[in-house]
Every structure is written in C-alpha cells, then in structure tokens.
Structure 1
Amino acid sequence: MPVLFSALVPPDDVVEAVTGALGALGEPGDGLRWEPPERWHVTLAYYGADDLDTRAAWLAERLAGRAGADVRLEKAATFPGVLWLTAAGRELTPLAHAAGAGAEARPYVPHLTLARFPREEPGLAGRWTKALSGFRSRRWTATRVVLMTSEREPGGRCYRVARAFELGRA
C-alpha cells in the first residue's frame, strides 16, 4: 500500500517568489538538505500506508461542497530537523481537519518544508530563519486539494499526485 497524504500545492508564481527569496540570500548550503521546488506543498493530513481508492473516496466525501482557502506563505521557522515557511490563512485549519488532520496526536501547524538538517544541529537553520523572517508571498486561493503518494526512490522521496479534488471559490 502506498503512503498517502493530502496537500495544497502553491501556484507557480508563489514557488518562483520563494525560490527568488532563497536565491537572493546566497548559495544554499550550511549542511541543509533542500527540498526541490517541485516537491513543495502544504500538507493538510497524513494518512500513512493506506488503500488509495478507499482514501480517495473518503476524502472526496469530506471535501464535497467545501470552499477554497486563502493562503499566504510567510516567515520561516523550524521544527527539530526541519526549516519551513509558515502557511497562513484562517481557512487552512478547518480544511485540514476536514481532510483528517485532527486524527494525529500533534496539533496541526500549516507549513511548507524548505529544508531538512540533523536534529542535533539546530543552529544550522538559524541564518535562514532570520533572513526569511520578513518573507511574505502574495495571497492566493487554493481551490484544489491533492491526494499524494510518497515513495522512497534511490534519490530520496518522490511525491506524486494520485487524485485531485476541486474546492469551491471562496
């Protein structure tokens, strides 16, 4: 069974704004493993190993009739081992809970992962967190939730859109 999660994918111009902000800060490095822009997403809910068709039917039912969510990426922060941008928008948490985020033990924190680093070296992300503290993308309306598969491949993890669910206009 594939590992599944639901997510919002930022539009191309927002991805370009983030890559531009990162590029303006100099050459990435500092021992961080950067996520490539084609894998950037805002996770709504993680399901683990699950049957794709069953989860897709469940998610379609949960998202039916829901409005899109206004989203903006802003300031950087960290979890242990992860550098990320905050995904802000008051509709994000209700949308994530509809997608199943409330089933997890930890609280939902909407974010876009930029890079990973060894947990025992939290200072590695400090320069980037500080430099991206004032970052703000444009606000966009997410009108599509994707159900993604996560598979381990020789070069790392590969994310693929398995299904897409349209949301109404906010």
Structure 2
Amino acid sequence: MRDSTITRAERDGRRRLFFGLRPSADCASSWLQGARLALGEPDWLRWQAPADVHLTIHFLGMVETAAQARLIGTVTAEIAGQRAFAIHAERGLWFPDALRPVVLAMSVTRGVSLTHLAARVANAVRDASLSSDPRPFQPHITLARLRRRHPALPVAPSLSAGRFSASELILFESAGAGGPVRYHPCHVFRFTGSVSA
C-alpha cells in the first residue's frame, strides 16, 4: 500500500515517475544477501529494500498528474500483446563503471525482448508528448547506491547469476520526503503468456 504521506510533488500536481520491471523476490534477496556478506555495512553505501529492487526500463522524471492518464493510454496501446519473457542477470558490478560508480548493480543480458520493450515504451512516452530520456538504455538492477565517493572502492562482489520472468511492466513513483527513496507502483501493465522454467 502507498504511504499516505502527501509529498510536495503531489501537492504541486507532479510525480517523479519511471517504468520498470521487478525481479523475483528470491533473486533480489539472494543478491542483496550476497552483496552484504561481501561488503558488510559501510556507511558510504545505502542498500535498497528488497521490495524496491528493480530494473529501470525508462526514466520519466517529474510528470504532471494530468498527463498520467494519457501516458498510461499510450503505453497500453504500444505494448498490447507483449509476451512475458525471461531476463538473465549476470554478475555484480559498479555502475556505470568502477571509475565513476553511482550504484552497485547486477548486470543484465541485453536480450531482444528486453531491448524491444524499452524501445516500445520510449515510443509511447513520445506519443504522450512527454520528454523522452536521452540516455541510452543500459539495463542493470540496482542493489545499493553510493552515498558519496569512496577513495578505495573494493572490487564488486561476486554474485550468483539469476533468471527471472518479466510478466508485467510497472509505472513507479519515486517518493522520499527527506528520507530513503521508496518506489510505489502507480499502474501495472500485464504481459500475455508465461515463461517456462
């Protein structure tokens, strides 16, 4: 359930939104546990809550509340018939790289289905007359964020590869009034079919 706290953005009629996919709870818990065992609890890292672990498909930024219904409509039309597909997470790494780290993440295989979904969502965002994220799609799953630069960054932990089913696309809101950022689902787009084990 969403936190009942009314954020400043909501009072202003805006929300900070993005589209994403959620890995399975087992995968998220396994990666977080492995990373924390390897790195401990350093004060320069802020761990994601297991329920907040996600793969960003398209970042939107601040969106007017009045534009959200239009956005949901264009995405629904654009991804109609999207079938569920498997996502393969490969290894732990500092993203975007160890020289300019922002997050600790799992790298993700850039498969055809995942790349195609990201392109379709970007098309729908443009059709909704919203600004499209200019950054290239670089799929990864964030496990922790760096609070500050670390002068002697340790080697990224060796984490088990994982495979999970992408069966829905989620429109998330980023919310955090002076505290840790949490991600609340605003709308869920279900895919068709299923992925074999």
Structure 1 equivalent of residue 83 of structure 2: 67
* 1:11-90 map, 5 Å: 11-25=24-38, 27-29=40-42, 31-50=44-63, 51-77=67-93, 78-79=95-96, 80=100, 81-90=102-111
Is 1:96 aligned to residue 144 of structure 2?
no
Pairing 1:115–2:144 present: yes
Gaps of 5+ in 1: none
* SS of structure 2 residue aligned to 1:161: strand
Matched residues in 2 for 1:104 and 1:122: separation? 31
Task: Answer yes or no: is 1:149 the counterpart of 2:173.
Answer: yes
> 2:107 touches 2:139 (CA, 8 Å); kept in 1?
yes
| Cα distance change, pair 122–39 in 1 and its aligned pair in 2 (3 A) | farther
Question: Post-superposition shift, 1:119?
Answer: 6.2
Contact preservation (8 Å) 1:22, 1:28: no
Task: Identify which range, 59-68 or 77-86, moves more after superposition.
Answer: 77-86
The amino acid across from 2:80 in the alignment is A
For residues 30-54 of structure 1, the C-alpha deviation after alignment (integer angstroms, 9 at most, x for no partner) is 6212222221100101112223222
Alignment deviations for residues 126-148 of structure 1 (CA, whole Å, 9 cap, x no partner): 33x1x22x5301x2221111011
% same residue? 24
The aligned residue for residue 135 of structure 2 is 106
What's the CA shift for 1:162? 0.5
Distance 2:145 2:32 in 1: 16
One of 123, 128, 135 as aligned partner of 2:160: 135
CA distance in 2, matches of 1:152, 1:19: 21
Task: Give the length in aligned residue pairs.
Answer: 165
C-alpha contact 2:104 2:142 (8 A) present in aligned 1: yes
Select the structure of larger CA radius of gyration.
2
Residue type of the alignment partner of 1:15? A
Cα distance in 2 between the residues matched to 1:68 and 1:22: 28
Q: CA deviation at 1:85?
A: 0.8
- Structure 1 length normalisation: TM-score? 0.84
| Cα distance in 2, alignment partners of residues 95 and 8 from structure 1 | 11
TM-score (norm 2): 0.74
CA RMSD of aligned residues (A): 2.3
Structure 2 portions without partners, runs of 5+: 1-13, 127-131
Contact 1:60–1:165 under 8 Å retained in 2: yes
